[in-house]
Structure 1
Amino acid sequence: MNTRQLYVNGLDVELPQLQSLLGISGSYGSPATGLGFAGIRFTGTSWLGPSGSDGYADQQSGAHITGAHAMPANGLSTCTSGCTQFEATRNHWVQMPAAVQVSAATGITFSGNTFSELGQAGLGVGNDGAATASGTGLGAGDITITGNTFTDIAGSGIQVGGIQPDAHHPGNPQMTNHDITVSNNRVSGVGTDYKETAGILSTYVTNATITHNQCDHLPYDGIDIGWGRGINAPGGSQDYVNRGTYAYQPVYSTPTTLKNNTVSHNLVFDTKKAMFDGGSIYSLSASPGSVISDNYMYGNNHTTALYLDEGSRYLTVSRNVVQDAGNWALTNANGNNHTDSGGFPTGYHQLVIGSDSLCLDVYGGGSGLGQRLDQWPCKDTAGSNQDFTPR
């Protein structure tokens, strides 16, 4: 029936154009210092980079390739296991910018704030210069992020550290990202557009503490630590020798800045709603003195809970509780990338925990791929050793 009336639902439509809301940045010799932000709602940004000529050629956790790169004419035959032309781009990958940015700064606190309706990463701390409005990256120290809410964000909720060479082997020691505390935050429903981004990402950082956070309803990982797949660790990686990476960068003889980090007492659930290859908690590269402990992970859509990916070494994983996972723990220790160098027993290329076990225990007696570990309840049972410690 034609009533000659038009019914329109009332809508509030916002089309943001602003990329960054707040930038805190000094210089390496004179960093911004002593600022606190509490009870603020950060909202209403966009990131128009993907609409430009570069598009968004994503790699992992918001890192992407920019510029034009020709595809090899015989790529289908020469790039079946790595491609030298691709490796040439690796040190030039660019991070996704954050709505709130901190670099070349010390003694900065964010507490009790809300980050929502943001078109890129929420809070970026010590990211590369290319990801900051100031152009000065890295150099973040003594930063505290506590009691905040991150929700309805296109990328990661919290993005700490850089990925380019100065992040892992800084030309100036004052560039080193250090002493970053991320505690008691809720990160829920982020990665809405860029689904390969983690709830919390921490790359090359010294003394990061990620504790008592809740990460839930995420398309990819809950918490990611590390970067670089062992490429930049002392001695490099044979896998990336084979791929031709070191034609474009040195084989380093000194450690990276990734060390002494703690991921503990976090609640991570309802992850991997869109992506697959990762973990509820995920690590990359050598991280001496680092610990992943006392976390509770469940509901990851039958994927891996604790994933120690390429180059993960010198960290301790203990007293974690995993429920409803496809793999409770996995280490990517193939014959070339040396994740297991220094003493993984044969059979620890894939760790499988029995469905009636609550905690990771040390190795059992077998040596086959996917060897089932000894099973102990998640308590200090006599004779149990609830540590998984790759050395």
Structure 2
Amino acid sequence: MKKTFIYLILSSFFGLFSTLFAGEIYVSPRGSDKNPGTRKAPFYTLDRAVKQAREWRRLKRPEVAGGIYIRLENGVYSRYTPLFIRPEDSGTPDSPTVICAVGDDANPVISGGIAVTGWRQGCDDSRIPEDLRRKIWTAKAPMVGNRRVETRQLWVNGNKAQRASQFPEGMMERMIDFNPKEQTITIPTSYTDNSRKLQDIIGLQDAGQLEMIVHQRWAIAILRVKSIDVKGGQSVIRFHDPESHLEFAHPWPQPIIGGKNGESGEKGNSSFCLTNALELLDEPGEWFQEYPSGTIYYYPRPEDTMETAEVIIPALETLMTVDGTLERPVKHVRFEGITFAHTSWMRPSYQGHVTLQGGFPLLDAYKLHEPGLPEKAELENQAWIARPETAIRVKGAEYIDFRHCTFRNLASTGLDYEWAVTASAVEDCHFTDIGGTALLMGAFPDGGFETHIPFVPSNERELCTNISVRNNLISNVTNEDWGCVGIGAGYVRDIDISHNEVCHLNYSGICVGWGWTSSESVMRNNRIEGNYVHHFARRLYDAGGLYTLSNQPGSVMRNNRIEHLIEAPYATNDRAFYIYLDEATDGYTMENNWCPTERFDSNRPGKNNVWKNNGPQVADSIKNSAGRIKTKNR
């Protein structure tokens, strides 16, 4: 008994000793990488701090005993290459590596942005109406390496500016015809502008960087315009490859023209908007970058003072990669109180952007005739996809957590647990102003894997499993690719998505599943519980506040609150739902989900779904407890 007591005392002492002597490394925008990395003499870069931690672990230094804490002081940490976290950076359960803010009041920002300075008022370009030329400000994009930064995003005093557009943000016009055989879209030559003046597109025939955004049901396409052939009141548009071939070859989704292609109940033609031409720069808050000069044109809003404005463009698409393998995963690395900001998304400028669903761009796609594939005889929509670009990528990892972090001003995916990630958590984080999906998880088989074939890896360690997504606020996302989602999970297992607030997005809120298959794959035991989803389907349709695909045995959708389903203004039908079990969903129990009406739908569901008490009759106690749980640390 006495020996046991002494052992407990010594264990407690050495545990306290380890905590007290945890290694601390300090980083500051005012530091130097020649410093020792102490609080009084911090490093300048996070890379130097991570290397120091790696060396401590390699040399088994005593600083490792209680964990290594890399503490970032307040300020912006600009990056020109992605931060690389590798297996050698792994911690242990008793000695994690924690990258965190110095204190609760510090706001360290890891940024891929770069400032645009040297603004001058006025321009003499004849493409801009004479009465507007004095209102336009210009500046050269900064140099990175030996070239001007090319960008599709620009923030002025923290507010995202809109690329010069034919219409105000979110407004579109109905197309006249969509011709797959000729690979053309026909649109009206004339249109009414914001001030209700009749305009035409004749002046855009020589606009070499012009793009068209096409509204096609549950997705958009971004097509680079090759030519405009004006034929009286109609204009025929052709596009560059590869996107021209993809847009007209893939059968789903395509635009609707008068209910063609066997569609019924459609209301009007699909819509479009022309964008990215200096000739369209006619509203405060719009901007345009000319290529190859790099000159940026901006029409300031009344509140913008360009002599002192902070103007940021992104120079990076990826801020950080956590990259392990099955044999040597990255383990026990945690991020706390860090802001990740300002990343780019350049795919549409180089190859257009035609997607299948959820923001996943097509590599190839075409229509099949019966029979389809051996795995799915009725399949007519064969497709191969790529994964969207992302600000933070995690692969081959265990216990990689993000807590109390902010993800903002990001142009594509915010955070992506891409492959072989397990036992990780995203908690109490804020995702806002994100062009694509806030958070992606799991396999969406890409490259040479046809996307409708059930995914069953030979080694199940390749799956993303046991990931917890809790208490996060996700708002104002999908603002560049409208077809992305708030939280998206593909082939995943034992995922917990609970008590998040997901709102103000253009398509679906929380989406789990992939493959459009009733076959048993690797998806199962997924949990969507206690979330609050609202103000969704703002621009697209065939959407769900909570949305699922394929067979997921043992999964639950419980105690959620879903409301404010927006009637998308350019939808050609009314297919948007509070809960949508899309093709072949099976194995789900839907229980006590509150929504104002029973607006649900199922597309060829399996036999093992169970519905229990969903709709406006659900108790107020359940309704009011959905969403984020307030904690002392929030």
Q: TM-score normalized by structure 1? A: 0.70
- Aligned AA (2:564): G
State whether structure 2 residue 356 is matched by structure 1 residue 56: no
Deviation, 1:203, is 1.0
Contact 1:268 1:297 in 2 (8 A): yes
Which residue of the other structure, out of 591, 600, 614, is the alignment partner of 1:360?
Answer: 614
C-alpha offsets along residues 236-265 of structure 1, whole Å, 9 cap, x if unaligned? xxxxxxxxxxxxxxxxxxx31211000000
C-alpha offsets along residues 23-50 of structure 1, whole Å, 9 cap, x if unaligned? 1011111111110001111011102122
Structure 2: unaligned runs, 5 residues or longer: 1-133, 138-304, 370-377, 568-575, 622-634
Change over 3 Å in CA distance of 1:310–1:12 after alignment to 2:
same
Pairwise CA RMSD of aligned residues?
3.0
Change over 3 Å in CA distance of 1:167–1:191 after alignment to 2:
farther
Q: How many residues align?
A: 300
Change over 3 Å in CA distance of 1:22–1:359 after alignment to 2:
same
Contact 1:161 1:167 in 2 (8 A): no
Contact 2:594 2:617 in 1 (8 A): no
Which aligned pairs between 1:1-391 and structure 2 lie closer than 5 A? 9-10=305-306, 11-53=309-351, 55-66=352-363, 84=380, 86-87=381-382, 90=383, 92-125=384-417, 127=418, 138-164=419-445, 168-230=455-517, 233-234=518-519, 255-301=520-566, 303-323=576-596, 328-333=599-604, 339-341=605-607, 359-360=613-614, 378=619
Distance (Å, rounded) in 1 between the aligned partners of 2:431 and 2:582 = 26
Change over 3 Å in CA distance of 1:94–1:343 after alignment to 2:
closer
C-alpha offsets along residues 88-142 of structure 1, whole Å, 9 cap, x if unaligned? xx2x3112121001110001110001000011000000x2xxxxxxxxxx11111
Query: Secondary structure of the residue that 1:292 maps to in structure 2?
Result: strand
Query: Secondary structure of the residue that 1:51 maps to in structure 2?
Result: helix
Distance (Å, rounded) in 1 between the aligned partners of 2:455 and 2:402 = 25
C-alpha offsets along residues 61-112 of structure 1, whole Å, 9 cap, x if unaligned? 1111126x6x78x99xxxxxx885x51xx2x311212100111000111000
Distance (Å, rounded) in 1 between the aligned partners of 2:577 and 2:410 = 29
Q: Which has the higher strand share?
A: 2
The aligned counterpart of 1:132 is: none
Contact 1:17 1:47 in 2 (8 A): no
| Percentage of pairs with the same residue | 26
- Aligned AA (2:521): T
- Aligned AA (2:327): G
Change over 3 Å in CA distance of 1:200–1:343 after alignment to 2:
closer
Deviation, 1:341, is 4.1
Contact 1:177 1:206 in 2 (8 A): yes
Change over 3 Å in CA distance of 1:65–1:22 after alignment to 2:
same
Deviation, 1:172, is 2.2
Contact 2:488 2:511 in 1 (8 A): yes
Contact 1:359 1:378 in 2 (8 A): no
